[in-house]
Every structure is written in C-alpha cells, then in structure tokens.
C-alpha cells in the first residue's frame, strides 16, 4: 500500500518539476533568469481554471485525446519501478503492454488532431506517427536485451536487482541500451534534436501542432500528461544508470528523485548545446539508433 502511495505521489507530484528544471538549465546556458522551477505547476493550475472552447466540427474523439494522454502515463507508471521502489503492478509480458499503452495514447492524440479537420494538424499527426514507428522497435530491442539479461518478461524484474549483475557481465550492451533509451526519451517527449517544444506556428514542429486546438482544462491535461510521460520514460533511464539500492525506502526515494532531476539537467544541456535536426535527418538518426539497439542485442547474443 505504501509502495503504491509513494509511487503515485512521486509521479503526480514530481513530474511537472522536470520541465521546470529543463527550462532553468536552458535559461542558465542562455544567460537568462528563466521561469521559476514551479512554472509548470502554475501553468497547469491556470489552465484547469479556464473555460473550454470546442470546435463544432469535432466529435468525442477530440475530447478523448487529452484524457488518454493523462491516464496512460499513470497506468504505465504503475508497471515501472521508480528507483528501487518496485512496481505496484507487474506480470509476465507487461513490457508489451507498457509500449502499446503509449501507442494507444499516441493513436488518440493523432486522431484528435485529425478530428479537427485542420490540414496543419494532420501534417503534425503524420510526422508524429512516422517518428514513433521508428522509435518503437528501438524500445523493443532495448527491452529484449534487458529481458535476456534478467531472464524475465516483466519490467519490474528487468529493471530490478538483476541490473547489478548485468552491468558486470554485459556492460557494453547496457551502455548502448542506455544511449538508445535516452534518444527514445528525447524523441517521445519532443525534445530538441527532434522537435522544439517551444515553437508554435512553425512549419517544422511536430507535437505542438497536434494540440493547437485544445484549450483550457484539455490543454492542462495534455501538459500534465506530457510531463508524466517524460517522468515515466525518464525513470527507465535513471534506473538503468543507478541500479543500486540502499535498503532504506526513504533514502532510495530521495536518490531516485535526485536521479530524475539530474536527467532533466542532462536533457537541458543537450537542448542547449544541440541545434534542432532538419526534418529529413530525424528518421536517419532514428534508424541509426534502431541499428545501435540491434547491435547491442548481437553483442549480447554472441
């Protein structure tokens, strides 16, 4: 019970802090003061207090997009161990469920964008699913590597104690997996080398364009959902990098939170030091990442 409570508390409470930390890091690089750490909380709070404008051409699909965008990360988070705090729900094969939960939310976000009938949003939806279908095999290859190392098909065990021995027996493969999953975190959360979360009304943007027509509480749900998605996917990377456990639940929680904030700082550094890729180069890089994850599997199997 405590586990479940702690899990949800971390997810719901800490996730909007990550965009704040990323923003601060970027501001530091640019020599600005930047918005306060808690800006995302304010934004979400403000949006939930606002009215809702819905286009007459839309159907229930348009409302379902943000709701699924909010619910899916919560469900997915229940299958992921946060640091050494085990996952509340776990069963054999939940890694497939995990990946396709995000697939479901993506399907509805894209459908909601198409539902508005705007050609601009349709273009964004097309780009989003193109990149997603290139990122998905990378996730699977990485998971297969971890599944083979731990001998289990559930995320809780794959990211559990087995990692400690895995780092000793298959270090090089795991380094590649960490790199691949980090790229997946960036592309799935529309961070800079792939998509710029700050641009609006620009022909190169991908994710932002799909949610242009959402307003008020709906948009709040999207922002909150996006923050939680970043948190859940980031948790996988953090767990891979810090596989240890001290035994004390509270200390572990603190350690994990520190790891997440560190990840946010790293993302901020990447965003500040890299330029956005040209759209044509993005699939190329994603295919490269896919091949890298495939190679990590070969390295393990030989």
Binding interface with other proteins (CB under 8 A): 168-172, 283-285, 287-288, 291-292, 294-295, 298-299, 302
What gap in Å lies between CA 120 and CA 182, rounded to an integer?
29
Nearer to other proteins, 110 or 240 (CB): 240
State in angstroms the smallest separation of the CB of 154 from other proteins. Answer: 26
State in angstroms the smallest separation of the CB of 224 from other proteins. Answer: 36
Nearer to other proteins, 132 or 291 (CB): 291
List C-alpha distances in Å: 107 to 79, 115, 229, 268. Answer: 21, 12, 15, 28
Nearer to other proteins, 130 or 257 (CB): 130
What gap in Å lies between CA 144 and CA 170, rounded to an integer?
14
State in angstroms the smallest separation of the CB of 254 from other proteins. Answer: 30
User: Largest Cα–Cα distance in the chain?
Assistant: 59
For tokens 């759209």, name the residue. 279
Nearer to other proteins, 46 or 281 (CB): 281
Nearer to other proteins, 74 or 176 (CB): 176
State in angstroms the smallest separation of the CB of 166 from other proteins. Answer: 11
Spatial CA neighbour of 53 closest among 221, 218, 207: 218
What gap in Å lies between CA 97 and CA 79, rounded to an integer?
9
What gap in Å lies between CA 244 and CA 5, rounded to an integer?
22
State in angstroms the smallest separation of the CB of 206 from other proteins. Answer: 19
């Amino acid at each position: 019970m405590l586990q479940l409570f702690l899990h949800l508390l971390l997810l719901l409470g800490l996730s909007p802090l990550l965009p704040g930390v990323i923003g601060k890091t970027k501001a530091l690089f640019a020599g600005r003061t930047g918005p306060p750490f808690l800006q995302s909380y304010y934004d979400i709070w403000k949006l939930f207090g606002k009215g809702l404008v819905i286009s007459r051409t839309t159907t229930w699909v348009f409302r379902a997009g943000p709701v699924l965008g909010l619910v899916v990360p919560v469900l997915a988070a229940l299958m992921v161990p946060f640091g050494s705090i085990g996952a509340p729900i776990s069963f054999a094969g939940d890694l497939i469920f995990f990946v396709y939960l995000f697939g479901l939310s993506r399907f509805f976000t894209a459908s909601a964008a198409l539902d508005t009938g705007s050609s601009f949003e349709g273009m964004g939806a097309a780009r989003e699913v193109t990149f997603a279908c290139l990122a998905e095999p990378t996730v699977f290859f990485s998971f297969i590597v971890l599944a083979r190392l731990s001998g289990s098909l559930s995320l809780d065990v794959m990211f559990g104690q087995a990692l400690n021995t895995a780092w000793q027996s298959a270090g090089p493969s795991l380094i590649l997996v960490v790199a691949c999953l980090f790229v997946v975190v960036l592309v799935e959360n529309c961070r800079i080398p792939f998509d710029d979360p700050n641009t609006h009304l620009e022909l190169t943007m991908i994710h932002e364009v799909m949610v242009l027509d959402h307003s008020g509480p709906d948009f709040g749900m999207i922002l909150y959902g996006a923050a939680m998605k970043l948190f859940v996917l980031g948790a996988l990377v953090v767990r891979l990098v810090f596989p240890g456990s001290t035994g004390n639940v509270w200390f572990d929680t603190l350690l994990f939170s520190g790891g997440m904030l560190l990840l946010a700082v790293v993302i901020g550094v990447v965003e500040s030091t890299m330029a956005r890729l040209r759209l044509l180069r993005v699939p190329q890089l994603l295919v490269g990442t896919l091949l890298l994850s495939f190679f990590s599997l070969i390295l393990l199997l030989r």
